[in-house]
């Protein structure tokens, strides 16, 4: 678990020399905003919109700004580059090409999801990373949520038993079959499949096969999954839910035990317990030793854990990348192997027939 003692940026003895490509909305709110808690020496920022690059440099303490990414990397010679860009007009991911350019220059890459729009492009990134001997990490924030990390720890314990089944809920529409060949029409799906996809892979391992069905009213879908471990799962993509509703719910069942994560922060561990005698129990209260365990954050104190940059995993994912670069050991989360499995999932929906079993691995 990433239960690390948080250091402030100015307290780190060693930092990575970093550049940043992209001065957009998400990066402003969540990625630059995480640097005060990570060993990052931000030297320069680049955006095609030069004024934006200048404004962000002033705001976030970078020394220089650029409008051309290659010029920035050439002049600055950083250890690493953070890439938070968007999509090309045809729906391809801008960060994929930028990451390949950075690797060719021998620069480690941290990039936002999606890593790429196809399995083939992720394999190209893997090859380029290997050739340059540099790391590519994607910001799979979900696997850095304290609640998800704790879930992983709980389901890996002998008391939980083997993780047997999983339910993941996420609101996302799948376009109609005739639209899916057009990558541009799949942008929203590609953008979001990374979130439930990252959770499934982190907690349950690789998917071996799946079957999905889609409803025509909102584009919601249900998918039944079989994992290589033998476990099964359901992904419910709940397009059509209310804008006032929490987005996510997750449940994993082991052997006489289960874990539920609601809304990304409320974690309940139903430990192995005997059900009170049927027809004869006046109380539902089980003994303290087997009672459920519940965690949720308080929102009163000016703490770090109740800032979204912590409970949504942004600071931990960036610290993980920086520590990997500083130690020269590959990241173990947000890896290209994880992105590859998510890309296989994406392509199964894009090209695989509805209602028929599709084999991924
Ligand atoms: N993990 C999350 O929670 C989360 C949330 C929102 C968005 N995102 C991801 O973040 C990315 C979008 O972030 P945003 O909201 O900051 O996007 P944005 O569109 O607001 O900003 C993207 C910026 O990149 C710049 N850019 C594009 N290509 C460039 C290039 N070659 N050189 C220099 N600058 C270039 C654009 O000019 C723009 O300012 C997407 O990948 C999205 O999936 C992740």
Question: Distance between CA 310 and CA 82 in Å, rounded?
Answer: 18
Q: Render pLDDT for 126-177 as a digit per residue (tens, 0 to 9).
A: 999 999 999 999 999 999 999 999 999 999 999 999 999 999 999 999 999 9
The whole-number average pLDDT for the span 2-6 is 73
The whole-number average pLDDT for the span 237-263 is 98
Residue nearest to atom 13 of ligand 1 (CA): 26
Q: Which domains does the chain have, with CATH numbers?
A: 9-141+313-336 (3.40.50.720), 143-312+342-359 (3.30.360.10)
For ligand 1, the distance from its centroid to the CA atom of residue 47, given in whole angstroms, is 10
Question: Distance between CA 7 and CA 59 in Å, rounded?
Answer: 21
For ligand 1, the distance from its centroid to the CA atom of residue 23, given in whole angstroms, is 7
Cβ contact 318:334 at 8 Å: no
22 in contact with ligand 1, CB cutoff 6 A: yes
26 in contact with ligand 1, CB cutoff 6 A: yes
Strands of the 221-227 sheet, one edge to the other: 293-295, 266-270, 258-262, 249-253, 165-170, 232-237, 221-227, 207-214, 358-359
pLDDT above 60 for 272: yes
**Which atom of ligand 1 is found nearest the CA of 97?**
31
Q: How many helices (H) and strands (E) are present in the chain, helices listed first?
A: 10, 15
pLDDT on residue 1: 44
Taking Cα atoms as reference points, which of 278, 323, 308, 266 lies closest to residue 150?
A: 266
pLDDT above 90 for 2: no
pLDDT on residue 332: 98
The whole-number average pLDDT for the span 306-335 is 98
Residue nearest to atom 6 of ligand 1 (CA): 26
For ligand 1, the distance from its centroid to the CA atom of residue 89, given in whole angstroms, is 14
Residue nearest to atom 3 of ligand 1 (CA): 141
> Cα dist. 357→216, 280, 344, 345, 352 in Å?
20, 45, 14, 13, 9
* pLDDT tier for residue 3 given thresholds of 50, 70 and 90: low
Coil, strand or helix at 231: coil
Question: Distance between CA 102 and CA 61 in Å, rounded?
Answer: 22
25 in contact with ligand 1, CB cutoff 6 A: yes
112 in contact with ligand 1, CB cutoff 6 A: yes
Question: Distance between CA 41 and CA 82 in Å, rounded?
Answer: 12
Taking Cα atoms as reference points, which of 101, 105, 104, 99 lies closest to residue 137?
A: 99
Residue nearest to atom 34 of ligand 1 (CA): 47
* pLDDT tier for residue 340 given thresholds of 50, 70 and 90: very high
Average confidence score pLDDT of the chain: 97
Q: Which residues contact 65 (CB under 8 A, 6 or more apart)?
A: 44, 45, 46, 47, 50, 53, 54, 56, 57
Cβ contact 311:303 at 8 Å: no
């Amino acid at each position: 678990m990433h239960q690390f003692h948080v250091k402030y940026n100015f307290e780190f003895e060693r930092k990575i020399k970093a550049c940043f490509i992209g001065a957009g909305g998400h990066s402003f709110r969540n990625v630059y905003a995480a640097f005060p808690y990570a060993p990052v020496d931000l030297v320069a920022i680049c955006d095609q919109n030069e004024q934006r690059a200048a404004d962000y440099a002033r705001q976030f303490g970078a020394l220089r700004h650029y409008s051309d990414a290659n010029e920035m990397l050439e002049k600055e010679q950083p250890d690493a580059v953070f890439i938070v860009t968007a999509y090309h007009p045809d729906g391809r991911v801008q960060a994929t090409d930028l990451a390949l350019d950075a690797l060719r220059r021998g620069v480690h890459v941290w990039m936002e999801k999606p890593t790429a729009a196809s399995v083939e492009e992720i394999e190209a990134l893997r090859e380029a990373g290997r050739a340059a001997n540099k790391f590519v990490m994607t910001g799979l924030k979900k696997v850095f949520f304290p609640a998800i990390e704790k879930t992983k720890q709980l389901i890996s314990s002998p008391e939980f038993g083997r993780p047997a089944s999983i339910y993941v809920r996420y609101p996302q529409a799948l376009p109609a079959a005739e639209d899916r060949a057009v990558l541009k029409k799949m942008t929203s799906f590609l953008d979001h499949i990374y979130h439930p996809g990252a959770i499934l892979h982190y907690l349950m391992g690789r998917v071996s096969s799946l079957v999905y069905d889609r409803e025509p009213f909102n584009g919601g879908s249900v998918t039944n999954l079989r994992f290589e471990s033998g476990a099964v799962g359901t992904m419910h993509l709940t397009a059509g839910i209310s804008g006032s509703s929490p987005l996510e719910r997750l449940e994993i069942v082991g052997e006489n035990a289960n874990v539920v994560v609601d809304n990304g922060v409320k974690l309940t561990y139903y430990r192995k317990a005997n059900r009170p005698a049927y027809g004869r129990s006046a109380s539902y209260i089980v003994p303290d030793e087997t009672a459920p365990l519940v965690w949720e954050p308080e929102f009163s104190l000016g703490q770090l854990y109740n800032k979204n940059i912590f409970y949504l995993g942004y600071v931990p994912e960036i610290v993980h990348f920086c520590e990997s670069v500083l130690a020269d050991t590959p990241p173990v989360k947000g890896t290209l192997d994880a992105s590859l499995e998510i890309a296989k999932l994406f392509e199964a929906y894009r090209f695989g027939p509805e209602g028929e079993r599709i084999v991924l691995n």
